[in-house]
Structures are given as C-alpha cells and as structure tokens.
C-alpha cells in the first residue's frame, strides 16, 4: 500500500466500512426516534406545554438513577417477549398479530398455579410452563388454520385476540374469580411469584426470563439449521419452498415460538408485577402489551438484540412518562403519540435514503443560488 497508514489499521477501517450498511437499520430507528420526538414536541407546544421540560423529566425519570432505570426495565420486560412474538413470525414471513390474545392466555394459565401448592422454585417454573403452553396453544390454531385452510394469519390472529379477550373476561369473572374480591382473580401465591430484583422497584426476575428467552431465540434463529430455514423462508418464500425446505414446519415453528414468548409475557406480568399478582376484571394490566410489543419489534428491526434495546427505550418512555406527568404536567398519553409517530416513520423503508435524498436536493438548490 502506498498510503501512510499501517496495514492492520487499514484492515480495521475496511472492516468498519463494510459494517456500516449493517448499522443502517439502527440508524433508521434512530432517525425515526428523532422524528417522533420532534413531532411530539410540536404537538406539546401547540397544546401549551413546555416540551423541553417534559422531555427532560421523561429521560431523567427513565434513566437517571437506579430506580428509574429499574422501572424502565420492568416496563420493558413483557415488551421484549411480545416483540419477539411478532418478530419471529415476521422473520418467517408471517404477520402474527395475535400476541395480545396469547398474552391473556398465558396470564390466565399462570394464575391457575394458585390452585395447588408446590415448593417455591418449582412453583415458579410450573407457572412459566403453563403460561408458555397456553400461549403456544393459542398461537397454534391460527397457524393450523393457515396450513389447512389457507386462512390469512392476520385475520385469524385478530379474531383470536377478540375471542381470547371475551373468554378471559368470562374466566376472570366466573371461574378464576377471587371469592373475596370479585374484581380480580385469585392471586398468585407467594411461592410462585417472581422475586423482586431491585428492592423498592417493581422490577422482578421476569427480566432475566425475558432476556434469556431473547438470547435463546437469537441462538435458535442465527445459529441452527432450523433457524436458518425459518429466516430463509421469510426472505424468499418461493425459493425456500423449492429448495426442499419444509416451509410448513417452519411456519408452525415460528408460530409456536411466538406463542411461547407471548405466554411468557403474560406470566411475567401476573407473576412478577406487584402488588396484586392477579388479573383484574377488564384485563387492564394486560391490555395493549401485545400491540406495544409490535411497535418495539419494529423499532428493534426484528432482531433480538435490537429488540432488547428498543424495549428499554419503550419501557423508559413509559416509566419516564409517569415522571413527566408529575413534574411537567404533561399527560402521559403524549408517550403514545410519540411512539405512534416513530412507528409510522419507520414504515417508510430506507428513511435514511429519503433523508439523504432531501438533503442532497436542498444542497443542489442552494448551490444554484448566486454566492
């Protein structure tokens, strides 16, 4: 090489250059995040609030101290799992919108451990297993419907969300109801609760469960043959089919894995969230966990590592939003607005390219003007 840069350092540079496109998705998410925050600030300003004060309160509440950080993680824990539900199936080329209903199933199943007694560790494991099985079962039926009758999974999973919702209402009010307090189910007994990780917060060991699941999925999808087949099916369904890979089995696998994750999410809420450890009538703690998970999945670019980061972000928005409400007086629905805009912004592919395009046009326009 005729350049003055030593050989090994050049190689590093080459490597970094090659890695850059891989960062593109992350860059897009970042850009979308900025767009979301800006539009949110605009809306706040129109509404008569102080956006700067609000955002400062938001981010400090979410990340400044251990308490805030733990709260953010706690909020993000179930989101990691429901995001994975969506992403695993997305990677396989399917739209699984059913996380919402699968979470209900998982939560209901987890509550049932209250009906029998076991030593603590075993009790927790039983709860998690019940929840996973319930979630997977609920996810399996739409998958089977697609396989056997060609039912589009978007429709079937939406239907199943609603059926699960009403079925859950029925179970919560009539079957699993707490005999003393009619507005909730029986509580998960102390032996089956996920212990609190950071004292004085609501972060439980459910975090480890979520992260562990995420890592398992990462390993499964990127380092096993079955995982490779799954991702290949998503990238090019026709080729995967003709390549002799069993696309049907792949699809089933993706739905089952997704259902396991969603069921687990229900368990982390019911077994991990103080102070009640039960399901309330109307399902308020479980509502929207599935849908928010989808947003997390998109921001996390459907990759387990990205999802972990995105879940921390969304969880932080949620936890910080509470402080924003107290300190800046901004209603926490603002958080939803920002999230929605971020997601819409992400819907535009290659947002970065669009951004560059506009920037170049602006530059060329300016260059035409006389100096």
Partner 1 sequence: MKRILTLLAVVLLGISLVGMIGLGNGKVAVVLDVGGRGDLSFNDMGFKGTDQAAADFGLEMVEVQSATAADYLPNVRNLARSGEYDLILAVGFLLTDAVSAVADEFPDQKFAIIDGFIPDKANVMSILFRENEASALVGALAGMVATHFGYRYVGCVLGIEIPVLYHFEAGYRFGIDWGVKKYNELGLAIGADVGLLYSYTGTFSDIALGKAATEAQLAQGAAAVYNVAGPLGIGDLEAITEYHTAKGTTFGPPYYIGVDANQDYLRNGLHGIASGMKRVDHGCYNAVKSVVEGTFHGGIVSLGLAEGGVSISKLQDLVDFFAFGVAAGAVDEVDFYTTLANWSANRANIPPEIWEAVDELEAGILDGSIVVPTADSVQEMQAVRDQYPLP
Partner 2 sequence: MSWSYLWSILLISLHAMVPITLTAVGEIFGETAGLFNIGLEGILLVSAFTGALAAESGGAVIGLLTGMGTGALIGFIFSVINTYWKGNQMITGIGINLFALGFVAFGLIVLGAPGFHAVPAESRLVTIRTPVGSISPIILVALALPFAAHWFLKRTRLGLILKATGESPEAADVAGIRVNLVRLLATTFGGVLAGLAGAYISVAWIGSVTKEISAGRGFISLATVVFSGLNPVLALLGGFIFGFFESLATWIRNLPGSKAVPWQFIAMTPYIVTLLVVAGVIGRVRFPKALGKPYIRE
26 binds, among partner 1, partner 2, none (CB under 5 to 8 A by kind): none
Round to whole Å and give the CA distance between 221 and 276. 36
Round to whole Å and give the CA distance between 214 and 96. 17
Among the candidate windows 32-40, 81-89, 140-148, 285-293, which touches partner 1 by CB under 8 A? Answer: 285-293
Instruction: For partner 2, give the closer residue by CB, 120 or 360.
Output: 360
Q: Give the chain's largest Cα–Cα span.
A: 83
244 binds, among partner 2, partner 1, none (CB under 5 to 8 A by kind): none
Instruction: For partner 2, give the closer residue by CB, 115 or 166.
Output: 166
282 binds, among partner 1, partner 2, none (CB under 5 to 8 A by kind): partner 1
Round to whole Å and give the CA distance between 105 and 259. 10
Site for partner 1 in 33-92 (CB under 8 A): 61, 67, 71, 75
Any contact of residue 285 with partner 1 (CB under 8 A)?
Answer: yes
CB of 326 to partner 1, least distance (A): 6
322 binds, among partner 2, partner 1, none (CB under 5 to 8 A by kind): partner 1
CB 320 within 8 A of CB 62: yes
Closest CA to 202 of 265, 290, 271: 271
Locate 195 and state its tokens. 């212990």
CB 257 within 8 A of CB 88: yes
CB of 168 to partner 1, least distance (A): 11
337 binds, among partner 1, partner 2, none (CB under 5 to 8 A by kind): partner 2
Secondary structure (3-state) at 177: strand
Site for partner 1 in 245-284 (CB under 8 A): 269, 273-276, 280-282, 284
Locate 235 and state its tokens. 């990238």
What are the beta bridge partners of residue 204? 196
Secondary structure (3-state) at 215: helix
Instruction: For partner 2, give the closer residue by CB, 56 or 163.
Output: 163
Binding mask 149-188 for partner 1 (x = CB under 8 A): --------------------x---x---x-xxxxx-----
CB 267 within 8 A of CB 192: no
Size of the site for partner 1 (CB under 8 A): 36
Secondary structure (3-state) at 280: strand
Among 28, 100, 153, 202, binds partner 1 (CB under 8 A): 202
CB of 126 to partner 1, least distance (A): 24
Locate 128 and state its tokens. 């998690």
Site for partner 1 in 294-323 (CB under 8 A): 319, 321-323
Asked if the bond preceding 232 is cis, omega within 30° of 0, the reply is no
Locate 113 and state its tokens. 């451990």
Round to whole Å and give the CA distance between 123 and 335. 36
Phi/psi for 301 (5° steps) reads 55, 35
Give the residues lining the site for partner 1 (CB under 8 A): 61, 67, 71, 75, 169, 173, 177, 179-183, 200, 202, 269, 273-276, 280-282, 284-285, 287-288, 319, 321-323, 325-326, 329, 331-333
């Amino acid at each position: 090489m005729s350049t003055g840069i030593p050989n090994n350092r050049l190689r590093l540079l080459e490597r970094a250059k090659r890695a850059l496109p891989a960062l593109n998705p992350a860059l897009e998410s970042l850009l979308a995040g900025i767009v979301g925050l800006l539009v949110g600030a605009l809306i706040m300003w129109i509404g008569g609030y102080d956006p700067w004060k609000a955002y400062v309160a938001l981010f400090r509440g979410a990340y400044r101290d251990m308490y805030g950080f733990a709260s953010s993680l706690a909020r993000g824990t179930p989101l990691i799992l429901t995001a994975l539900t969506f992403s695993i199936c997305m990677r396989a080329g399917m739209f699984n919108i059913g996380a919402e209903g699968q979470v209900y199933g998982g939560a209901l199943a987890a509550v049932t451990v209250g009906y029998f007694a076991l030593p603590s560790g075993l009790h927790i494991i039983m709860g998690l297993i019940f929840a996973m099985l319930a979630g997977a079962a609920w996810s399996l039926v739409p998958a089977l419907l697609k396989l056997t009758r060609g039912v589009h999974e978007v429709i079937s999973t939406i239907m199943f969300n609603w059926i699960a919702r009403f079925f859950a209402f029925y179970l919560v009010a009539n079957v699993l109801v707490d005999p003393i307090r009619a507005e909730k189910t029986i509580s998960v007994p102390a032996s089956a609760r996920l212990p609190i990780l950071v004292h004085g917060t609501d972060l439980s060991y459910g975090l480890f469960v979520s992260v562990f699941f995420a890592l398992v999925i990462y390993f499964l999808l990127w380092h096993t043959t079955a995982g490779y087949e799954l991702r290949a099916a998503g990238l090019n369904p026709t080729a995967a089919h003709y390549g002799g890979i069993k696309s049907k089995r792949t699809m089933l696998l993706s739905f089952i894995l997704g259902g396991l994750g969603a069921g687990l999410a229900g368990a982390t809420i019911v077994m991990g969230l103080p102070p009640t450890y039960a399901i309330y009538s109307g399902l308020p703690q479980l509502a929207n966990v599935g849908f928010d998970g989808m947003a997390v999945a998109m921001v996390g670019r459907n990759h387990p590592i990205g999802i972990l980061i995105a879940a921390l972000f969304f969880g932080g928005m949620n936890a910080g939003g509470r402080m924003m409400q107290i300190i800046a007086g901004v209603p926490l629905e603002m958080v939803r607005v920002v999230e929605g805009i971020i997601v819409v912004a992400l819907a535009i592919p290659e947002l970065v390219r669009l951004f560059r395009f506009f920037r170049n046009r602006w530059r060329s326009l300016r260059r035409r003007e006389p100096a």
